[in-house]
Amino acid sequence: MTDPAWLEEGLDHIWLPYAQMKTAPRPVPVKSTHGTRIILHDGRELIDGIGSWWTAVHGYNHPYLLEAMGHQLALMPHVMLGGLAHEQAYTLATRLAGLAPGDLSKVFFCESGSVAVEVALKIAVQYWRNTTGQVRPKFLAFRGGYHGDTFATMSVCDPDDSMHSLFGPALPSQYIADLPTDEARTETLERLLSTHSDIAAVIVEPLLQGAAGMRMHDIVTLKRIREACDRHGLPLIFDEIFTGFGRLGGMFAATVSGVTPDIMTLGKALTGGVSPLAATIASRSIYEAFHSDDSTKALMHGPTYTGHALGCAVANASLDLFEREPRLDQVAAIDAHLSQAFAPLRALPQVADVRIRGSVGAVEMRGAFDVQGMRRRFIQEGVFIRPIGKTVYLAPAYTIAPADLSTLTKAIVDMVTEQKSR
């Protein structure tokens, strides 16, 4: 079947994400989605292994989410939060504050994860200004981290091993440390924090660095970061845009680890993959620094679509599903399934590492392989899996049927096993 006319025409005008438009393989036209299936223009179905950039945790077209959004659409797609209020944003703020650990309880809404991180960074800088008058323009971030694509968020990504390295000279310079996975690295972190008094906050992807290739670290490492921040009175930001909403088996990495940040960012699965929405949640004590009779101490940020009513309605419905359906049990089942299915790969010489936590299973190869070729072959085999760097991984909807998950793991096991002979 030939590609649809809209694709032919549109390819002349669309500028795609992270793509060299000259050489990028032609994207596969999609007609519709349901459950964990992507239905292509030519009628073929793909089993989705990554849930649309890790967002569609309840599967696609969940009737309950569609109904909630439809209901809100008929009532009011959106009304601005400046001077006006609507039920969905206020209810969602209350619910997120209830779910978030510790005294994380002040919720700021925006439209994308990158902006949620921008807001977190702004909060940290202004926190110091408001409380002590200090100018602290810098951040400490970790190697392997990914926090977004805007300028400030690019500056806290891994400066070398990331797609943003070419912007290096245009970015504010930050302190980048190795995750404190051992004594020596813990000392290095400690030294950085004690020698530099211009650091406003420390930012980390807790337990799982997603975009770097599903790199995982343990709870002890996270505790060391928390302790170092406590020793130096520094706010700790957890970027939970990927890890939030059950991904690692608990509602947040903070709940899984028992380590609580001062600021948390959420996005991706917040609306179950239906609508763009993100949030920054600050602790009550951070918020206190802004709560004042002095108007210059207010947080100066306000996206046009902040608290978007359609997005908030579907996010509320997504939280209903977490309450009513056994999502976290499903994640535990996926964890067990992935652990078993990928176990044999550990012995293969071409495999450097197998990492599994919650609904994420990753196989890191020792050497480089033909990523584009592998992506194409996966599609031919009826699965949608997108390796990043040297890592082939799954992060499926929590609702995926065991048979579909088996098809996905088998596709990866076969593909990885076969790499040997190349």
Among left, alpha and beta (phi > 0; psi -120 to 50; other), residue 206 is beta
Residue 215 C-beta: closest distance to ligand PLP, Å: 12
Structure token digits, residue 233: 């009175």
Residue 406 C-beta: closest distance to ligand PLP, Å: 27
* Rounded CA separation 262/279 (Å): 14
362 phi and psi, to 5 degrees? -130, 140
Residue 225 C-beta: closest distance to ligand PLP, Å: 15
Give SS3 for 361. strand
Q: In the complex with ligand PLP, which residue's Cβ is closer, 208 or 289?
A: 208
Q: In the complex with ligand PLP, which residue's Cβ is closer, 35 or 307?
A: 307
Give residue 59's identity as a one-letter amino acid code: G
If one counts every other C-beta atom within 10 angstroms of the C-beta of residue 311, the result is 25
Residues that bind ligand PLP (rule: CB under 6 A) add up to a total of: 15
Choose which of 48, 158, 239, 404 interacts with ligand PLP (CB under 6 A).
239
H or E element in which residue 355 lies: strand 351-357
The verdict on whether 239 is a catalytic residue reads yes
> Which 258-287 residues touch ligand PLP, going by CB under 6 A?
267-268
288 phi and psi, to 5 degrees? -55, -35
Residue 243 C-beta: closest distance to ligand PLP, Å: 7
Out of 158, 239, 262, 335, which one is annotated catalytic?
A: 239
Residue 274 C-beta: closest distance to ligand PLP, Å: 14
Beta strands in 116-193 (DSSP E): 138-142, 175-177
> Which 97-116 residues touch ligand PLP, going by CB under 6 A?
112-114
* Rounded CA separation 186/248 (Å): 24
Choose which of 86, 138, 143, 147 interacts with ligand PLP (CB under 6 A).
147
The verdict on whether 320 is a catalytic residue reads no
Q: Is the dihedral of CA 130, 132, 136, 140 positive or negative?
A: negative
Out of 48, 60, 138, 146, which one is annotated catalytic?
A: 146
* Rounded CA separation 107/265 (Å): 10
Choose which of 50, 56, 99, 117 interacts with ligand PLP (CB under 6 A).
117
Q: In the complex with ligand PLP, which residue's Cβ is closer, 156 or 200?
A: 156
Q: Is the dihedral of CA 176, 180, 181, 185 positive or negative?
A: positive
Choose which of 139, 146, 175, 245 interacts with ligand PLP (CB under 6 A).
146
The verdict on whether 146 is a catalytic residue reads yes
Q: In the complex with ligand PLP, which residue's Cβ is closer, 269 or 400?
A: 269
CB 294 within 8 A of CB 131: no
Q: In the complex with ligand PLP, which residue's Cβ is closer, 313 or 395?
A: 395
Name the packing angle between helices 371-380 and 402-418 (round to 10°): 140
Instruction: Check binding of 148 to ligand PLP (CB under 6 A).
Output: yes
Number of residue whose CB is nearest ligand PLP: 113
Residues 6+ apart with CB under 8 A from 181: 217, 218, 221
Residue 63 C-beta: closest distance to ligand PLP, Å: 25
The verdict on whether 268 is a catalytic residue reads yes
Catalytic residues: 18, 146, 239, 268
Residues lying near ligand PLP in the complex (CB under 6 A): 112-114, 117, 146-148, 205, 210-211, 239, 241-242, 267-268
